[in-house]
A and B are shown apart, each in its own frame.
Chain A
Amino acid sequence: MSAHHNHDDIQSLYEGDQSKLYSGVLGHHGDARSPESKAQVARIWKVTALLSVVTIVEVLLGLLGHGMPHGLLNTLFLVLTLVKAAYIVKVFMHLGDEKKNFVYFVLMPLTLFVWFIISFLMDGSHWLHMNFTQANTITDLFK
């Protein structure tokens, strides 16, 4: 039994004309006026409202949040940014509708950013520290 050249299976078209095939999980054709379709459109607008509200909150924090502790403010900005990013990727880019193994395939390389951000920012602040202690002459400034 061979998986190849089985023309009863539409998947075999992957070896041939790509343009004829659209077998993704989103490939079903339905009625645009069906309840499922309307629910999906309603969901899109709901996410739009959510993204707008989060952006407004971010701007308000940026304008009025100066009295807040610096660390708390920055944490809030990062969390809100990640919330926005997650909704864009999950709903607008339909990654939430793909197969789970594909979702991991796309997202797992991005965990490199955790190491990437921590090590580089630490490097930056260490250089600053060195500049104002031994490596540079500007030591009179912040005694």
Chain B
Amino acid sequence: MTHAATATHDIEKLNKWGGGRSPFNVSYGKMMMWFFLLSDALTFGALLISYGTTRFFSKVWPDANHVFHAFPGLGDTNAPLMFVSLMTFILILSSVTMVLAVHAGHHGDRQGVIKWMLWTIIGGIAFLSCQAWEWTHLYHTGAWWGSFTDPNTAVESFKHLFNPHKPNVEAVFSTHPELARHATHDFYNYFFLITGFHGAHVTSGVLLNVMILVNTVNGTYERRGHYEMVEKVGLYWHFVDLVWVFVFTCFYLL
């Protein structure tokens, strides 16, 4: 390599971080969306780890298969995990339609963006409806923020939430049922807080998706020459799906 070539190389290396260009080859808005999602991931992580800490702090814990076993329209059926699986599937599919909208945007295909954004919005609304049903159902079983705090609560009202085959459950209920009541209280507080915080994200995601759809229909992005806004809001929407993957594991599987 000649001396001149080395010098040019050094200047280019310097200029990469010297301003005037993006060293990451990512536009400002997209990078800020990633940073926002990073901070949001830490928030959700803190909530879920706090849930885990409380669970490790408790001698017994409600069993997801015993808490979540209802399905709309099936009355008193025992279908553990079925409804939440449906919700998970809906959210995954709406993430797929979102990535297809982003893909259509990359090719400047306005009709494609409109079609797939519509499906994404429908998926988001379907998920929120499912969550509304699940919350209402749990509310009618006596679960809410701050529930199960009364020391005179009947043991029968929370005993069925625990799996008697799990360690310590029998012993706790025979001598100190209030420990199980405390655990039920903690479990529901975290459940409504975390799924509520996630649901708030889904709600704002649907609103953002509607705004993007309106802009697409109006031709805003076609005039701008690119559909990067679809991609940026798409990142947010995928993140909401991503968080649900972890919420699903923490609340319904582990």
Contact = CB atoms under 8 A, between A and B. Distances in A.
Contacts of B99: 44, 91-92
A21 B100 contact: no
B21 A78 contact: no
A83 to B, nearest CB: 10
A24 B30 contact: yes
Given A4-B20, A113-B45, A30 B57 contact: no
Contacts of B65: 62-63
Interface string B219-247: 00000111010010011001101100110
Interface of B is mostly: helix
Contact of A26 (B64, B106, B176, B252): B106
A138 B127 CA distance: 43
B164 interface: no
Contacts of B228: 22, 24, 27
B193 to A, nearest CB: 17
B121 to A, nearest CB: 17
In this complex, the member of A9, A62, A132 whose beta carbon has the largest number of chain B beta carbons within 10 angstroms is A62
B81 A18 contact: no
B27 A77 contact: no
B22 A11 contact: yes
A14 B52 contact: no
Interface of B: 11, 15, 18-31, 34, 38, 41-42, 45-46, 49-50, 52-59, 64-65, 80-81, 85, 88-89, 92-93, 95-96, 98-100, 102-104, 106-109, 112, 165, 168, 171-172, 175-176, 179, 224-226, 228, 231, 234-235, 238-239, 241-242, 245-246, 248-249, 252-254
Interface of A: 1, 3-6, 9, 11-12, 14-15, 18-32, 37, 40-41, 44-45, 48, 51-52, 55-56, 58-59, 61-63, 66, 74, 77-78, 81, 84-85, 88-89, 91-94, 98-99, 101-102, 105-106, 109-110, 112-113, 116-117, 120-121, 123-125, 127-128, 131-132, 138, 140-142
